[in-house]
Amino acid sequence: MSDAFLSVRNLYFTYDDGIEALHNVTLDIYRNELFVLFGPARAGKSTLLRLCNRLSDLSEHTERQGAITLNGKDIFAADINISALRRRVSMVFAIPTPLPGSIHANLVYGLKLAGIRDKGELERRVERSLRQAALWDEVKDRLDTSALALSGGQRQRLCLARSLALEPEIILLDNPTSGLDPISTATVEESLYELKQRYTIIMVPHSVQQAARVADRAAFLLNGELIEVGRAERMFVHPQDQRTEDYITGRFG
C-alpha cells in the first residue's frame, strides 16, 4: 500500500462544555479507499470528520492537540488556506441542506467562489457532478427551479453533487443516507462504488450493516477512543477487540 494520504496523529479534541470527543486517535487513510468510521453515539465520528477540513473551527472554545496531515502537509499550519482546504476535502452533511436558490445556483456556488468564471467549464462541472451523484436524469430539465423543491433523497444527492463539482480529493460523508428510504439508500450506496474510483471517501455510516456493505477499511470508535482499525472483510467477520465484536453483534449501541 502507498503512503498515507490523510494521517491523523495522537488527536485529542475537547468541546467547550468539557466533553472530550476524541482521545488520542491515530489512523491513516489511503487514496481511493472508502474508509468508514463507525461506533455508537458520542463516539467522536462526526467530530473527527469535521476536523478533516477544519469545520471544527466553527465550534468555539475547543481544546485540540495532535496533528492531521493531508499529503504530508499539516492542515492546522498557520499558512494553510482554509477555503482551499475545504474545496479539497469536501463535506456532505447528514441533514441535506440545499442553499435557497436554484439547483444550478447550488452547484456553481462554490465554483464561482473558487474563481471559476468560464461558462463552459461551469456547465461541464454541473453536468458531470450531477451524473456522478445519479441525479442528472431527474433534474436535467429543471436546473433553474428551486433546490428546496427536491425530495429528501434528491436533496442528499444534490448536496453530494455540490461537493463533487468542486472536484475535491477527499469526500467526507456524514451519514449520507439518514432519513432516506431503502431505494434511495441503495442508489447512494451504488454511487459510492463509482466515486471511490476517483475520490477518497471517509464516511460515517447509517448502521453497522451499511458499514459492512460499503467499506474497504473501517475504524471502530468508542467514547472518543479508537478501538480497532482494519480491512472491512476481516473486521466485520473476525473483530480482534471484544468491544468491537460486542458492538457489531448488537450487544450494545
Partner 1 sequence: MSRQQANKLAVGVLTVVAAIVVIPILLVIVYVVWQGLPALSWAFLTEAPRNGMKEGGIMPALLGTILLTLGTAIVSFPLSIATAIYLAEYAGDNRLTRWIRMAIVNLAGIPSIVYGLFGLGAFVLFMGFGTSILAGSLTLGIMTMPVVISTAEEAILAVPQQFRTVSLSLGASRWQTIRYQVLPHALPGIITGIILGLGRAAGETAPILFTVAAFYVPELPRSIFDQTMALPYHLYVISTQVPGMPLQIQYGAALVLLLIVLSFTLVATLVRTQMRRRREW
Q: Which is nearer to partner 1, 39 or 96 (CB)?
A: 96
For residue 62, the minimal CB distance to partner 1 (Å) is 14
Confirm or reject binding of residue 114 to partner 1 (CB under 8 A).
yes
Confirm or reject binding of residue 49 to partner 1 (CB under 8 A).
no
- With CB under 8 A as the contact rule, the residue among 45, 86, 157, 243 that binds partner 1 is 86
Binding span for partner 1 by CB under 8 A among 5-13, 84-92, 176-184, 245-253: 84-92
Confirm or reject binding of residue 84 to partner 1 (CB under 8 A).
yes
Confirm or reject binding of residue 53 to partner 1 (CB under 8 A).
yes
Confirm or reject binding of residue 161 to partner 1 (CB under 8 A).
no
Contact 171, 180 (CB under 8 A): no
Q: Which is nearer to partner 1, 87 or 125 (CB)?
A: 87
How, if at all, do strands 200-204 and 170-174 pair?
A: parallel
Confirm or reject binding of residue 142 to partner 1 (CB under 8 A).
no
Confirm or reject binding of residue 146 to partner 1 (CB under 8 A).
yes
Residue type, 44: G
Distances (CA, A) of 185 to 152, 155, 177, 181: 11, 13, 6, 6
Contact 218, 35 (CB under 8 A): yes
Per-position b or e across 85-105, b if 16+ CB within 10 A of its CB: bbbbbbbbbbebebeeebbbb
